[in-house]
Amino acid sequence: MPSALLKQRSSHKNLLQRSLGQPSQTPARGETRIPFTVPQKGRVTLRILDIRGREITTLIDRVSEPGTSSIIWDGQDASGEIVPAGIYFYELQVSGAKASRKLTRLR
């Protein structure tokens, strides 16, 4: 693979990593707000993963315009069951580039 393409992908991934904000929780309601920035128009996917990397649920899967936003995860998996407290990850994918951060679910 040409080095210019590798540098471009690395730069895009670094930009995307900075696009993920720190989560904030409302333990009384079991909700977590996840802020993120879409740096360019494209297919956006935001998923919650367990500590082993298995998908818990997909919060966003759509084409989106650039901009800053946030979404609330209600602590439920894809089947509507409340997941236990523990370590999870949220993963943002924009046009093929991925970035993720750790999330500790308190309740």
Range of the structural domain that residue 87 is part of = 3-105
pLDDT tens-place string over residues 20-46: 666 766 655 678 999 999 988 999 999
**Residue 79 pLDDT greater than 80, yes or no:** yes
pLDDT tens-place string over residues 52-62: 999 999 999 99
Full DSSP string of 16-72: HHHTBPPPEEETTTTEEEEEEEE-SSEEEEEEEEETTS-EEEEEEEEEE-SEEEEEE
Number of domains in the chain: 1
**Domain at 78, CATH number:** 2.60.40.4070
